[in-house]
Amino acid sequence: AQTVTQSQPEMSVQEAETVTLSCTYDTSENNYYLFWYKQPPSRQMILVIRQEAYKQQNATENRFSVNFQKAAKSFSLKISDSQLGDTAMYFCAIPGDSGAGSYQLTFGKGTKLSVIP
């Protein structure tokens, strides 16, 4: 079974500053993927960034980047130049492989990020 742990229930950051959200995971597989999803107050789940475990290079998407440490099973999300619209719950997630052609996501408990003007 795969597990995802987010140890920071809540965080806050000043607008325009940088913040890092932590995530650790456990999986017995060698090739896998990791996701960060954002859930703003509207409750819509939005993919922020994706990392392929076999790629050494950390994924980046504009102001969002990850620090992927495979050996440590760590997958943190860095948000640069924080904006008010970044205020949301952030979930770290890993897709499983049940062997039945289903790749359902296992989520962490989430980190509630507040961007302060």
Residues that bind another protein (CB under 8 A): 32-33, 35, 37, 42-47, 50, 52, 91, 95, 97-98, 100-110
Please give the biggest Cα pair distance in the chain: 47
**CB closer to another protein, 43 vs 117:** 43
- How far apart are alpha carbons 35 and 53 in whole angstroms? 11
**CB closer to another protein, 17 vs 103:** 103
CB of 14 to another protein, least distance (A): 26
- How far apart are alpha carbons 64 and 88 in whole angstroms? 14
DSSP state of 62: T
CB of 49 to another protein, least distance (A): 11
**CB closer to another protein, 2 vs 76:** 2
Contact 37, 55 (CB under 8 A): no
